[in-house]
Structures are given as C-alpha cells and as structure tokens.
Amino acid sequence: MENISIAERLLQELGITEPKEIDIEAIAYHVGAIIRYRPLDGCEARIIGSGDRAIITVNSRSSYRRNRFSIAHELGHWRHHRGSRLVCRAEEVRGREVTSPERIADDYASNLLLPNYLFKPVARRYQKLDLATVKAITDIFDVSYTAAAIRLVETNHTPALLICHGLTGRKWFVRNSSVPSRWFPRDDLDRDSFAFDILHAGHSDDRMPRKIGAAAWFDRWEASRFEVYEQSMRTGDNEVLTLILIHEEEMLDEQNIWRK
C-alpha cells in the first residue's frame, strides 16, 4: 500500500472519500481549532494555541480558496510546530527549504486539500496536462489554480515544469521527477516566450499549449536543438504562471547530456 501523509491519514480517519467532503473548518474544529475572520495586514492567517485548543485568524479580505489554503497551512503548524513561535506567511508555492517550518506547513496544506488518494484517480481522468485540466481540478477540489497546477506537475502526469515570473524575473518553479535536473529554467522571461507578452504587453492568456524553441526557457547549449510546449496565464496584476511540457524523449534522457 502506498505510504500516506499525516494529513491524508486524518482525512481517512474522518471517512472522507470525495473531494467535496473536505470541509476545512470542520476539520479544524475536529483537531481543536476554531476559525475567525478578521482583516489582517502582512499575513494571510495566524494561529494562537494553548494546550489542545487553538484559534486561527484568517484574512477576511482574501478569497475563499485562498483562505482554505491558509487555514490548512495553519493546521500544519498546529500538527507539527505546536508550542513554537513562528512568523507565518502561508504560500501555495515550493520556493522554500524542504525542512523549513513554512514548507512543512505548506506540504501539510497540500496533502489536506489535495490528498493523493483522491487526487490521483481524478487526475487520471484527464489525458492532457494543460490549463483546462488545471481549471477542472480547481473546481473539483475547490483550490486555487496555483495549488492545483503544482500538484498536477508533481504527480508526474506529464513531463513538465511549472514556472512563475514577476516583473523582476522568476519567482519560483517546480518540475516533476521525469524532467532531468539539467533543465533549469531561465531567471528572466525571454522576449520570444508567450509569457513575456502576457506579462508585459497585456496579451490574453494562452488557450492551448503552443510549440516554442526550448532556448526561450532554458539557458543551456543544447536547448536550441529542441522544442517544448508552453501555455501561460496571468495569476495577478504582475505575475504570470507557465506550464512547460516536454515531449521530446531526448530531452528526458539523462544519457544525452554530453551528446551534440
């Protein structure tokens, strides 16, 4: 049997068998935490606990899906860091050290809202990894585009990277294990990329993945030999999220690193 995370074990103990049953406030109450909504500055949520009881305060100005992740993140701290004093900034990204308290809480949140034992069977219904699939997943699990896209990439649905850029360059990225580590995305957005036009020229989001030279995304000597598929979308006023799909087997072959 596949190993399950602590968060997934909690869901199974509660008898949760469908995504729509993941009631994050009810789960919080079950583990001794109550939720309050207040305007917050500088963070999305915070937790104060004593003994086996806690209060999680969530930013009332944020979206419903943003708040679901924030609550799940604070529950990660409640499970793993009880008694510690932390300055918390919940994020749905992977740009932290694996052992940092914030990364541990992020992973707990992802496992609670997108548990693999429910997520993988749903993901297998979709043959293609694209933004349409991401949108479908967000609606099924009631999470953000970013959270759903990260999970899809990390589950090895398709050899892919997910990259987030802002006006000053790359903010973070994730890739699945089928993509060799030598394919490290450029820090800057290349002017030839479709993402550049979406971020800087106000163009609309891509409706489907489009072929582009790999050199637009990877600063490696052999990148000019290959093509990848890019699909980008705006996720904020100054932020663009990009799926890079790799279909050329030679790019995925570690033995090809020295071949020209």
Per-residue three-class SS string for 62-105: CCHHHHHHHHHHHHHHHHHCCCCCCCCCCCCCCCCCCCCHHHHH
Cα gap 70→188, rounded to integer Å: 29
Give residue-wise pLDDT tens across range 183-239: 999 999 999 999 999 999 888 888 899 999 999 999 999 999 999 999 999 988 899
The verdict on 166 and 254 lying in the same domain is: yes
Total domain count, the chain: 2
pLDDT of the residue at 1: 47
Whether residue 173 lies inside any domain: the answer is: yes
The verdict on 164 and 231 lying in the same domain is: yes
User: What values do phi and psi take at 27, rounded to 5?
Assistant: -65, -40
- Contact predicate 243/160, CB 8 Å: yes
- Residue 171 CA neighbour count, 13 Å, CB half: 18
- The boundaries of the domain holding residue 36 are 6-109
Whether residue 122 lies inside any domain: the answer is: no
pLDDT of the residue at 50: 86
Whether residue 219 lies inside any domain: the answer is: yes
- Contact predicate 199/209, CB 8 Å: no
Whether residue 153 lies inside any domain: the answer is: no
Whether residue 138 lies inside any domain: the answer is: no
Last residue of a domain, which of 93, 109, 125? 109
pLDDT of the residue at 260: 46
Average pLDDT, the chain: 90
- Has residue 92 got a pLDDT over 70? no
Last residue of a domain, which of 109, 137, 171? 109
Whether residue 230 lies inside any domain: the answer is: yes
- Has residue 73 got a pLDDT over 80? yes
